[in-house]
Amino acid sequence: MPVTMSEIKLPEVELNIYTPREPVEATIVENRLCTKESSPNFVRHVTFDISGTELEGHVQVGQSIGILPPGEDENGRPHKLRLYSVSSPTEGEDGQPHLISTTVKRTIEEFDNNELYLGVCSNYLADLQPGDKVRMTGPSGRRFLLPQNATDFNYVMFATGTGIAPYRGMIKELLKAGIENDIVLIFGCPYRTDLLYADYFEPLDEEHPNFHYLPHISREARRADGTKKYVQTCLWDAAELLDPLLEQENTLLYICGLKGMEAGIYRALGKKKLTQYLDIREPAVNKKPEDWDEKDLKRYVKPSARTFVEVY
């Protein structure tokens, strides 16, 4: 039986309690790998103690914190702030309001000239040990949030890479609130070794009939037609689950991860005529979704009020 749409009321949040000019000091209490098994990529779950700061009790799930790495760039200027999505629920890591966490991937790249690039802040954070101090800002973000009436909705969540971070906190929060509606988590990565927090999500999938964990691994097994599995192909690969869910008027869609992932999802939604999740404007409205070009996707195909996007 179709469910009518509840009003989407986002919570009021506090912003920029601490700024780059006036950051606060937080202490590392945990720094561990969160990949499924031995992986060539190093992704870590980092937990901070914010006891005695104004951040305690004022960071909403879905928001971000800022980290100021020490040192200067090649121009002699202080390194810039980097933002990281919070991966703990609003009540704090393990229900402790003085603890918040994030998910950090070490950025290690090799350029065409064989030079190695190391991400300044990601490697700084990944190196830290319990007891070490960091300079923190935030919180930031007022849109990529759960609604106040969160259990009124179904959720379809798309993630790539560390874009899974906010969903860890959101899903913990929704399940603790006793949600009876469905939650689908679609996580895309190149290899099985790149699965993040699988030790948490896999058991949840077995324990909760309304939680569905759908990892899509692009560089291993192919789809039946020989194409790669990407997060957007899940709309066809898991159509039996997703079609009726996405037709419900109380379903919300979340997209988080690497910039550009939203383009494939928008085209897929258009092809499946799920345009209630998009705000399509002229001239894109007169084109087939597969013909939407970069300009269309940047200017004329936007998320609707039922779609929340955080890409970087």
Q: What would the DSSP string read from start to end of 39-98?
A: -SS-EEEEEEE-TTSTTTT---TT-EEEEE-SSB-TTSPBPPPEEEEB-S-TT-GGG-TT
Active site (annotated) includes residue 256: yes
Residues of the chain with CATH 2.40.30.10: 24-140
Residue 38's pLDDT is 76
d(CA 137, CA 3): 40
Which class is domain 24-140?
mainly beta
* Residues 165 and 86: beta-carbon distance below 8 Å: yes
Residue 220's pLDDT is 83
Active site (annotated) includes residue 56: no
Rounded to two decimals, what is the model's pTM? 0.94
Catalytic option among 121, 122, 256, 262: 256
Q: Which CATH number fits domain 150-311: 3.40.190.80, 3.40.50.80, 3.40.50.10860, 3.40.50.2000?
A: 3.40.50.80
176 is in an annotated binding site: no
Amino acid at 132: D
Active site (annotated) includes residue 310: yes
Active site (annotated) includes residue 312: yes
Residue 36's pLDDT is 74
Residue 48's pLDDT is 98
Residue 235's pLDDT is 97
85 is in an annotated binding site: yes
Residues in CB range of 83: below 8 A, 6 or more apart: 64, 65, 66, 138, 140, 312
Q: Which residues of the chain have pLDDT under 50?
A: none
Catalytic option among 191, 200, 300, 312: 312
User: Scanning the structure block, which residue is given the tokens 């609604």?
Assistant: 147
Residue 4's pLDDT is 65
Residue 209's pLDDT is 97
Residues of the chain with CATH 3.40.50.80: 150-311
Residue 2's pLDDT is 55
